[in-house]
Structure 1
Amino acid sequence: MDKYTVDWKGYIPAISIPFFKNGEIDWKGWSTLLNWLVDEGMHGLLVNGTTGEWFSQSLEEMDAIFQAASKTVNNRIPLIGGCTAYTAEQVVERAKLVEKANFDGILVAPPPYIVLTDEELVAYYQYISDHVELPICIYNWPRGTNVDLDKELVARLADLEKIVAIKNSTGNLQNFVSTFFAIKDKLRVFGFPMNELGISLMKDYGGEGMMGAGAVLGSDHPNFFHSLWEGNIEKALYYGKKDQFLFKSWYNDDFSAKYGSPQAIIKTALNLKGLPGGYPRLPIIPLTKEQELKVKESLEEVERL
């Protein structure tokens, strides 16, 4: 496999899973949200990433979530399943659920909490590559793993058979850019900011797009990339300005939330837009009324841009 094995590009959001207040999955809401995302023109969907609260799910729930997503999306756009876990064996177990649901690939971050060495990370991903059938997207997520994959390590991982892409959610811009230039011919790269810098890098040197969180602006997110691909930079900057405004309103540079938890912010925003964001599930708790008001105000302001 290589980067040309898959056709992933553009805006592929890591999406929420709506829960009821008692923690049960809102299956009807989940179907409604999936159909809305497809209709809004997303270029793919990432199910059970960080935004999807995979860490609070049982294997049985994961299986049901992957199956429901596959049935609802019905091959209209690519689906990538989040399979991050604490051990390589657990990742493979989850990957088999994703494969059974006929997804197009898996996303795997380094194991949370365990801060592995470079040699351990190579062995970790090697085991996964040897034991799964689907293409793999590496997820560099230093906020959640305490490991920021550098260009030398990513270059080694890029040589593993099943690895075809990277979602590089590092807050270290120098690391992002240097890694991009080191591996852009081997891996599809996601994580470009939707601003002048991101546009310049993608237009002049390649790069596939963004795996963002939540897609609360609907079609504005994929329209950034359509405008870029059409050469309409002014229009791309317009859509990107809206995305960047919400990011700066809700998140810090390291992707931590400025208040509450990122999952709760995304769900609140979806609810305010009349979509089934639902409730977060413990250990994540809902935003306070004051925090909800901040989200509401930012959504109103972004529409005035």
Structure 2
Amino acid sequence: MYKPTGMIPAMPTPFNDEGNIDFDSYNRLIDHLIDGGVHCLLAGGSTGEYSLMSMDERKSVLKAAVETAKGRVPIMAGTSAHKTEDTLELTRYAAEIGADCALVINPYYLKTSEQGILDYYTKLAKNADIGIVIYHYPVATSVELSPELIAELSKIDGIVGVKNTTDQEHTCKVIALTKDQDDFSVLTGFEHLILPTLAVGGDGATGIVHNLVPKEIVQMYKLFTEDRDIEGAIEINQKLLPLYDYVEAEPVPGPVKAGLDILGIKGGHVREPLVPASEELKQKMGQALSELGYEVQTV
């Protein structure tokens, strides 16, 4: 099974003025990211506003990603849902259309036990012909998976990785407990922790800023992992620090959609009750992108 590694953008879903999915802009974003050298694409994740879509819309976004990518890069399909049956339906669909792995958040809100979490991921892995990536995001879910529980989950056949959107100490412990498993990857979900995660043996990052500056993010990864040019990687990282802050300075995905608009790649509207980026943040993002050498547009 495919094991996700490298730099993986969590793609937003563009919506037009009528609130419908703008597939032309979505396809353009995919081409922009592939041209930027990214290693995989996350479609239909949290940044993609999956929780505000119908099941049919979610399927259409995943299908568009697979068809537009045309095998140029792997597709990680966001298939999280509150009901186990819905998660399984969408995960099976992702496998059917040719996605390479599925990202699934742990059960939340109506909380279960550790055994319930183990049973949940076991059922998904056994009943969908696709690798499962655990999505661990305790700030959003208020459910913390211990490093030991993630290590236990990693041993389930068909579980291929974790997107660990939490603090670096936790990620270090997960890496230490799973380092001998060649079929399991540890990804950070925080831009600020990309280099620290790689430095302790992590496999990559799924992030938001990747959508805006894929070439820089990929070059930083290459310098660190292939060229062993740590100073060069640090230099790029320092240049990107303002953007790391800006893409999450206001409710996601408003800022990254505004950033794409600034670059001339339509980010589109957000769905209510989400809000667009403020004019002040747009100005800051435009300045940061301009300083990185990008031609920016007024939005």
Q: TM-score, normalised by structure 2?
A: 0.90
2:107 to 111, 126, 135: 111
Residues 1:231 and 2:228 aligned together: yes
In structure 2, relative to structure 1, the CA distance for the partners of 1:241 and 1:192 (3 Å cut) is farther
Map 1:97-176; keep pairs closer than 5 Å. 97-170=93-166, 172-176=167-171
Partner of 2:31: 35
After TM superposition, give the deviation of residue 242 of structure 1 in Å. 3.1
Q: CA deviation at 1:182?
A: 1.0
Single out whichever of 55-64 and 37-46 deviates more from structure 2: 55-64
- Runs of 5+ in structure 2 lacking a partner? 295-299
1:194/1:263 CA distance change after superposition, 3 Å: closer
Secondary structure class of the residue paired with 1:238: helix
Alignment of 1:260-299 (within 5 A): 261-299=251-289
Q: Summarize deviations over 1:169-201 as a string: whole Å, max 9, x none.
A: 01x222121122112223201118667x85465
Contact 1:192 1:210 in 2 (8 A): yes
**Residue 100 (structure 1) shift:** 2.0
CA displacement at 1:91 relative to structure 2: 0.8
CA distance in 2: counterparts of 1:194 and 1:17, whole angstroms: 20
Q: For 2:285, give the aligned amino acid.
A: V
8 Å Cα contact 1:188/1:208 also seen in 2: yes
Q: Tell me, what secondary structure is at the counterpart of 1:180?
A: helix
For the structure 1 residues 243 and 210, does the alpha-carbon distance in structure 2 shift closer, same or farther, using more than 3 Å as the test? farther
Contact 2:165 2:190 in 1 (8 A): no
Which of residues 172, 176, 199 is equivalent to 1:181? Answer: 176
Q: How many residue pairs end up in the alignment?
A: 290
Q: How far 1:55 moved relative to its partner?
A: 0.7
Q: Distance in 1 between matches of 2:18 and 2:53?
A: 14
What is the rounded CA distance, in whole Å, between the counterparts of 2:194 and 2:283 in structure 1? 31
CA distance in 2, matches of 1:109, 1:123: 14
Cα separation, 2, equivalents of 1:269 and 1:250: 8
How far apart are 1:43 and its partner, in Å? 0.6
One-letter amino acid matched to 1:39 = D
* Letter aligned with residue 23 of structure 1: G
- Quick one: which amino acid aligns to residue 280 of structure 1? V
3-state secondary structure, aligned to 1:50:
coil
Q: Distance in 1 between matches of 2:270 and 2:280?
A: 17
Change (3 A) 1:276 1:198: closer
Residues 110 and 121, structure 1, Cα contact 8 Å, conserved in 2: yes
Distance 1:189 1:54, change over 3 A: same
* Counterpart contact for 1:246–1:302, Cα < 8 Å: no
Equivalence for 1:255: none
Partner of 1:209: 204
Q: CA deviation at 1:148?
A: 2.0
Q: Which letter does structure 2 place at the counterpart of 1:176?
A: T
Q: Could you tell me the percent identity over the aligned residues?
A: 27
Q: CA RMSD in A?
A: 2.1
Matching residue of 2:46? 50
Q: Secondary structure at the match of 1:207?
A: coil
Give the letter aligned to residue 171 of structure 2: F
- Structure 2 vs 1, CA of residues 89 and 219 (structure 1 numbering), >3 Å: closer, same or farther? same
Correspondence 1:92 to 2:82? no
Cα separation, 1, equivalents of 2:269 and 2:245: 23
Shift of 1:94: 0.6
Residues 141-169 of structure 1 deviation map (CA, whole Å, 9 limit, x = unaligned): 11221112111110111111110111100
